[in-house]
Structure 1
Amino acid sequence: MSDIETGDAAGSLEFEYELDAPPEKVWRALNIPELRERWLPSGALAQPEPVSSVPGEEVRYRIREDEPPFLESTVTFTVRPIDEGRTVLRIVHSLTDERLSGKPPAAANDACFAVMLAA
């Protein structure tokens, strides 16, 4: 296995790995609950079934943090063959919790402008 690319795009983390395994084997590890449980425990999933799936190519799960504030995110796994018996696994982890949308709260010491006017 080799890490061939990592990136960060607007609220998401992206990783790409070259695996010495055929795409079918990687796909099974992503989709068969007994195999997936070895590296992604069911307790980490916000729901046990995928949000979406394109068989043999891409699967998307909702993940929930196990500690407060229990934020939710979406992880998309994409499988692509590259050579005989080798696969590229692309993982995109996007923070999608609705509680984080909208305008961020104002700082507790947001009186800065009033203090500047008083000076």
Structure 2
Amino acid sequence: MTDTDAVVFECALDAPPEKVWRALTIPEYLERWLKPDKDLDLSVVTAEENKSLTYRWREAGQGAIVGMEDSLLTFELSPTTDGGTWFKLTHAPVALPVAANSNVAGVTMMAA
């Protein structure tokens, strides 16, 4: 995976990290905020309370993008001096290193 494969969004939020964390981890709040499609499966990969959270984002069904069924959605939260949160969202495809004996150049996307 290269840096250009990821989509990164950063902004300041007018809420403390604890409140943003709740919006990312309580299913009812997450559903309202992300509005995940019924064919989308989110599962927690790593979590550090009020700081960092990574979901595995798996798309299925007719709307799935070929080769993009699995990706990682990482949220990074940092407190700001004014009591808010610096919010960083990174959405990156899951990539596996290519075996040395492979005919494929670069990295290979993990297939579902």
Compute the TM-score of the two structures, normalised by the length of structure 2: 0.70
Aligned counterpart, 1:55: 49
Aligned residues: 94
Aligned counterpart, 2:38: 43
Unaligned runs of at least 5 residues, structure 1:
1-7, 105-119
Q: Per-residue deviation at 1:28?
A: 0.5
Q: Per-residue deviation at 1:29?
A: 0.4
Q: Per-residue deviation at 1:65?
A: 3.0
Cα 1:83–1:45 change in 2 (3 A) is: farther
Aligned counterpart, 1:79: 77
Which structure 1 residue ranges, 4+ long, deviate > 3 Å from structure 2? 42-45
Compute the TM-score of the two structures, normalised by the length of structure 1: 0.66
Q: Quick one: distance in 1 between partners of 2:57 and 2:15?
A: 25
Pick 1 or 2: higher relative contact order, CA cutoff 8 A, min separation 6.
Answer: 2
Q: Per-residue deviation at 1:43?
A: 3.3
Aligned counterpart, 1:3: none
Q: Quick one: distance in 2 between partners of 1:81 and 1:19?
A: 10
**Map 1:92-107 → 2, pairs under 5 A:** 92-96=90-94, 102=98, 103=104
Unaligned runs of at least 5 residues, structure 2:
99-103, 106-112
Indicate the structure (1 or 2) with the bigger Cα radius of gyration: 1
Q: Quick one: distance in 2 between partners of 1:37 and 1:92?
A: 18
CA RMSD of aligned residues (A): 2.4
Aligned counterpart, 1:9: 3
SS at 1:34's partner residue? helix
